[in-house]
Chains A and B, each alone.
Chain A
Amino acid sequence: MSNDPIHQFHINPISPPIHFGAIDATFTNASLFMVAGVAVASGFMAWAMRPQALVPGRAQSVAEITYGFVHGMVRDAAGDEGVKRFFPFVFTVFMFVFAANMIGMFPYWFAPTGQIIITASMALMVFATVLIVGFAKNGFKFLKLFVPSGVPWYILWFVVIIEIISFFSRPLSHAIRLWANVFAGHLLLKVIASFVPMMAAAGGMLVLGSVIPLFMTVAIYALEFLVAFLQAYVFAMLTCIYLNDALHPGH
């Protein structure tokens, strides 16, 4: 293994190159861990819900709590209509991000959410959904999203410009928040952990001192588990808030 902290983000083909016309569909380590995340997430949910017991066991409880967690999140942010339209989508987003983040926590494995193209795809998917559903449901009243009510006309034009900029920068911040958290966390872990063998190899007092980055690695690892969950939650939460704008554009 390389000492290069970027090494863990390299994408290497596993299969021979696959092309569907112009589309490069080569199966890489990134593909493998995305598919694995989806397989683990759906496999666990399906296995946990198999008993469909009235009094749930442990696995079924976890599945039901996850359902209730995301369900409550969607309902709080986007109301009952949001639940009706977007609950499966938001649940899929949450499960995908959470599974990808958690799979990335295994040493030597790969974090698909550490690739900005993946987080940007999801953020743009949400952005496009907001635009399409917003215009389909509200017509041109959707533009009221940019015109908050109760603002005097002499600053309204300024507020509208700010609203438009903030609306169009949403996918950017949405994508970069998740990607940067995962990327920076993994990078930091690798850098701090690489201090341990470096200091141990240096000899002298540094051998004893190498326990400091070791403990830091353990502590940051625990923090990264929190971040892995928290960023999945934040990503799903923001998805709910943005989708709510499509349903209720008036502030």
Chain B
Amino acid sequence: MQAEAAHPAEATTAFPPFDASLFPSQLFWFALSFIALYVIMSRFVLPKVGATLARRAGTIDGDLDQAAQKSAEAENARASMEKAVAKARADARAMIDAARAEVQAKLNAEQEAADARIAERIRAAEARVETAKQKALAEVPALADGLARDIADRIAPAVAAPARQRVAAGEA
């Protein structure tokens, strides 16, 4: 092999991987291509891939944040909506209660007023009845007297007249 090292880069050696005469050219082109690959990768390709992956991670994180925010907003909206519904329901109940109480009060007042009026009328009517009764009762003796005189006059006028005069005298 040492002898063949005198003929560089020729395919005459028995075992090329150990032929030192072939090394310089390989080393030169290895260094050139490896450095070229390193420069291309580290300067252009890897930053590009890294930036793309970072951008994707950022976008995903941002989207997730946004989704969480939206979800929280929806939850808030639901809570406030529920609150509003509860408040509206309470308001409605209060309004109904108030109206009912008002109507009840009006009804009661009118009932009382009507009762009072009726009682008043009853009293007035009773008073009239009483008056009429008294009047009627007051008229009864005279009426009976007259009636009795008429009866007596018709049945026995002869007796009646002197009796009447006696009575009148007796009474006098």
Which residues in B have their C-beta under 8 angstroms from that of A12?
9-11
**Which residues in A have their C-beta under 8 angstroms from that of B22?**
11, 28, 30, 115, 117
Flag if B53 contacts A42 (CB, 8 Å): no
Are A6 and B15 interface neighbours, CB within 8 A?
yes
Is A3 engaged at the interface, CB distance under 8 Å to the other chain?
Answer: no
Q: How far is the CA of A87 from the CA of B42 in the complex (A)?
A: 9
Q: B27-35, B93-101, B126-134, B143-151: which lies at the A interface?
A: B27-35
CB pair B56–A54 under 8 Å, yes or no, is: yes
Question: Which B residues touch A81, using CB under 8 A?
Answer: none
Q: Which of B44-52, B77-85, B156-164 faces chain A? A: B44-52
Contact with A13, one of B9, B31, B38, B55 (Cβ below 8 angstroms): B9
Cβ of B36 under 8 Å from chain A: yes
B binding-site residues for A, Cβ under 8 Å: 8-11, 13-19, 22-34, 36-38, 40-42, 44-46, 48-53, 55-56, 59
Count of chain A residues with Cβ under 8 Å from any Cβ of B? 51
| Cβ B49 vs Cβ A67 within 8 A | yes
Q: Tell me if A169 is interfacial: C-beta within 8 Å of chain B.
A: no
Check if A37 is an interface residue, CB within 8 A of chain B: yes
**B45 touching A46, Cβ below 8 Å:** yes
A52 beta carbon closer than 8 Å to chain B = yes
Contact in complex: A42, B17 (CB < 8 Å): no
Q: In the complex the two chains form, is A116's CB within 8 Å of B9's CB?
A: no
Residues of B within 8 A of A9 (CB): 15-17
- Provide the residues of chain B in CB contact with A73, threshold 8 Å: none
A to B CB contacts below 8 Å, 10 in the list: A9-B17, A11-B26, A24-B8, A27-B25, A28-B29, A45-B40, A49-B52, A92-B38, A114-B17, A117-B30
Given contacts A28-B22, A53-B52, A115-B22, 20 further A-B contacts (CB under 8 A): A6-B15, A6-B16, A11-B22, A11-B26, A25-B28, A28-B9, A30-B25, A31-B33, A35-B33, A38-B34, A45-B45, A49-B52, A52-B51, A54-B55, A67-B49, A67-B50, A88-B42, A117-B17, A121-B30, A122-B34
Within 8 Å CB of A87, what residues of B?
Answer: 46
Chain A nearest Cβ from B1, distance in angstroms: 13
- The 5 A-B residue pairs with the shortest CB-CB distance, nearest first, are A88-B42, A31-B29, A10-B11, A24-B24, A42-B40
Per the 8 Å Cβ criterion, residues 3-17 of A in contact with B are 6, 9-13, 17
A:102-148 near B, CB below 8 Å:
112, 114-118, 121-122
**Shortest distance in angstroms between A61's beta carbon and chain B's nearest beta carbon?**
11
Q: Contact: A49 with B45, CB < 8 Å?
A: yes
Interface contact B16-A10, CB-CB below 8 Å: yes
Q: For residue A114, which residues in chain B have a CB less than 8 angstroms away from its CB?
A: 17
User: Which residue in chain A gives the minimum CB-CB distance to B8?
Assistant: A24
Check B41 against A88 for contact (C-beta < 8 Å): yes
* A95 adjacent to B25 (CB under 8 Å): no
Separation in Å of the A35 CB from the closest CB of chain B? 5
CB atoms of A35 and B29 under 8 A apart: yes
- In the complex, chain B residues whose CB is within 8 Å of the CB of A25: 24-25, 28-29
Q: Would you call A229 an interface residue if the criterion is a C-beta within 8 Å of the partner chain's C-beta atoms?
A: no
Note all chain B residues with C-beta closer than 8 A to A200. none
Please indicate the chain B residues that have their CB under 8 angstroms from the CB of A88 in the complex.
38, 41-42, 46
**CB-based nearest A residue for B29:** A31
Q: How far is the CA of A49 from the CA of B31 in the complex (A)?
A: 26
Q: When the two chains form their complex, are residues A52 and B48 in contact, meaning their CB atoms are under 8 A apart?
A: yes
